[in-house]
Structure 1
Amino acid sequence: MKPSGPENDNTVKLFLAGDVMVGRGIDQALPYSVPPILYEAYVKDARRYLQIAERENGDIETPVSYEYIWGDAMDIWQREKPDFKLVNLETSITTYDEPWPRKGIHYRMHPKNVELLTAAGIGYVSLANNHMLDWSRPGMEETIRSLKETGIEFSGAGENEKMASKPSLFQKAGSRILVFSYGAWNSGIPSSWAAGKSESGLNYLGAFGDEELEEIKKNIQSYKQSGDLVVFSIHWGGNWGYKVPEEHREFAHALIDQAEVDMIFGHSSHHPLGMEVYNSKLIIYGAGDFINDYEGIRGHDEYRPELSLMYFPEINTENGHLTSLKMIPMEIMKFSLKQAGKEQAAWLKKALTREGEALGTELRMDEDNILWLQWK
């Protein structure tokens, strides 16, 4: 283990972030917006989320630029120079106006706002999550078309089961990185969202059993070549609470031991969870939200939902082992990401060290308020 190291052809440096939720209030602040109508129990107009954020931290001069949303992350990416940027996109990109029936929350942004992703140089988005069919299958299909038109790679959704289970492929200096994306039932994804042999949908995971593990193993083996790195993106678990379910740990370990997965990139929790390094492979159980429109909404203050993390793991391409994990704390303010200060970074360090104790990890904070993962 080492805190950092020189970049070379035997190392790939990734940027990872959890849920990117840029619908509702954020979409209303961007240059183009879908109609603001919502079908939630209490909020019927997406502009209300913009008003709540302004009440919390001050006026937001709209429309904001695409760079504005990413805020300080833009300079951080320029400085860190990751080889690839991977996020979980929890927002449909569509103007389709038929929401999925009897679902409480619906996220979408205008297709012209796909420039939000290209402005940040996001190269890959995971689509297997519990908001991708908020605006039904036509909304998901328009999302896929929008991503294809802009050249952004994605996995976890497709026009049929085969395409939904297909990985994205990246290459660096002769090394291939395969990114598979799965969405689990316990993250709120209805089984009816699963892709079929001739029906569009998500790469759905209905259980964490031996049968599902075997299917995943077969899928990975059908694409994996000798020397490939495998990143397994999975949307699983609830939104709030630090406890990592034992079945998540067992399944993550089995993915590494049996399915030859090199890194697990978990998300769904609205705040970061504890991390583990198992057999020298990184497991992020819950990356937390990266950007959302929850600003000013009370109810889960003890989790500090305004704080998020930029994850920069460096992976040895020869064996998939984690070399280092650097994390830069961020704060969501006025729908923009600001680099967090000492107090916020120290709070995250304390919380994630506490939660990592049972997982064999702790965090170290340096003089620049950067967090580093330490493991046994």
Structure 2
Amino acid sequence: MLGRGIDQVLPHPGDPRLAEPWVSDARAYVEMAEAVNGPVSRADGYDGPWGDLMAELRATGPDAWVLNLETSVTRADGFAPGKSVHYRMNPANVPCLTAVRPDVCALANNHVLDFGRDGLAETLDSLGAAGLRTAGAGVDAAEAWRPVRVVLRSASSGTGSTSRHGPRLLVFSIGFPSSGIPLDWAAGPDLSGVALASAPSPAAAADLVSRMRAARRPGDLTAVSVHWGSNWGYRVPPEHIRFAHALVDGGADLVHGHSSHHPRPLEVHHGRLILYGCGDLVDDYEGISGHEQYRSDLRILYTARLDGATGALRGLRLTPFQARRLTLHRARLRDAYWLRAALTRHGSPFSTTLAVGSDGVLTLTPGKRGV
């Protein structure tokens, strides 16, 4: 969530005006963060919000790096009606994204059209001009539902080659109204918008499985990035579980769920990883009170190792960070244990257990169920 308050601490802050009933200026979110943890630096360049995450990315060197980009990237003024929260980042601050160079930005979420279809058009143009690939939104339904095909770096011939003929990860992005996406944001045959399904139903799962099978070629892996559900709480709705299971049973190798502002339980189903809610990684919520029991200041970078031949999960690192002064710091060991306790307790229906290493990194130890 690189808009609003985060945008205001980057080198080219955009228009700070907001249409919220409680805050009218995005700089107020910076001030709230400062009231909690002290002065926020405006001199850290474009990589400031990522903080210690930069070193972790360099150390792990992922073959594919996927994130949910939950903001519009535009100078547009037209606030989307019927919404109380709007996110935008100045296109001049796109180097904040290129600093971490994601392979895919998933856009099927409830903020990418916060400034209308003109804002979406500028978002797509701004990201495309920076060489950033997007899924889940487009100039029409065909583009919004089309997966991004990522050539896996280290898997290609074992040499790090990025030949377009190497093994690929297909990334689909889809959203649901339960996350706050208005129904009229859906892309149509001649209408820009997001890949939006009305509900995580068997029919929606069957449609997406059909799209996956049509796009795959032998040797491909498939990930589905899903924006769904409420912002707070650990309960995973049964319809989310059924939908995720149907995707895995239909050929998905990983389900990347998000919308909640804190991490939710995860599951290994038939050897495939399902993240029901990753939580936020970067946002401007640091000074907002009211949900302290969820420790939304704690953030996780998920690094999954999949079997290149079968797609089965071979390992999972959960690197915890803490947001302070609108940047990410490696979390303390006691905070890693807090996360393990919360995710293990609330993940008990999925037989999910986590271990904590001396470096504070959590690792997944799948239970018997679903493995």
TM, length-normalised to structure 2: 0.94
Matched, 1:227 2:207: no
CA RMSD of aligned residues (A): 0.9
The 3-state SS of whatever aligns with 2:234 is coil
Q: 1:210 to 1:60 in 2, by over 3 A?
A: closer
* Alpha-carbon offset, residue 120 of structure 1: 1.2
Tell me which of 13, 16, 23 is aligned to 2:3.
23
The corresponding residue for 1:97 is 77
Matched, 1:160 2:160: no
Partner deviation per Cα, 1:61-83 (whole Å, 9 max, x = no partner): 32441122111011111111111
The corresponding residue for 2:103 is 123
Tell me which of 277, 280, 286 is aligned to 1:289.
280
Q: Percent identity?
A: 43
Partner deviation per Cα, 1:339-365 (whole Å, 9 max, x = no partner): 001111110010011112111111100
C-alpha distance in 1, partners of 2:59/2:230?
34
C-alpha distance in 1, partners of 2:71/2:21?
19
Matched, 1:110 2:102: no
Higher normalized strand content (fraction of residues): 1
User: Residue type of the partner of 2:322?
Assistant: E
The 3-state SS of whatever aligns with 1:283 is strand
1:120-269 paired onto structure 2 within 5 Å:
120-172=100-152, 173=156, 174-257=166-249, 259-269=250-260
Tell me which of 13, 21, 37 is aligned to 2:17.
37
C-alpha distance in 2, partners of 1:47/1:350?
35
User: Residue type of the partner of 2:310?
Assistant: N
C-alpha distance in 2, partners of 1:68/1:131?
22
User: Residue type of the partner of 1:263?
Assistant: L
Matched, 1:275 2:266: yes
C-alpha distance in 1, partners of 2:99/2:360?
26
1:290-369 paired onto structure 2 within 5 Å:
290-369=281-360
The 3-state SS of whatever aligns with 2:65 is strand
1:61-76 paired onto structure 2 within 5 Å:
61-76=41-56
The 3-state SS of whatever aligns with 1:53 is helix
The 3-state SS of whatever aligns with 2:347 is helix
User: Residue type of the partner of 1:365?
Assistant: V
The corresponding residue for 2:159 is none
User: Residue type of the partner of 1:126?
Assistant: A
C-alpha distance in 1, partners of 2:334/2:280?
19
C-alpha distance in 2, partners of 1:72/1:61?
15
Higher relative contact order (CA closer than 8 Å, sequence separation 6+):
1
Matched residue pairs, number? 355
The corresponding residue for 1:9 is none
C-alpha distance in 2, partners of 1:102/1:121?
33
User: Residue type of the partner of 1:140?
Assistant: L
Report if the CA contact (8 A) 2:201-2:239 is conserved.
no
The 3-state SS of whatever aligns with 1:264 is strand
TM, length-normalised to structure 1: 0.93
In structure 1, stretches of 5+ residues that fail to align are 1-20
C-alpha distance in 2, partners of 1:31/1:349?
36
User: Residue type of the partner of 2:61?
Assistant: K
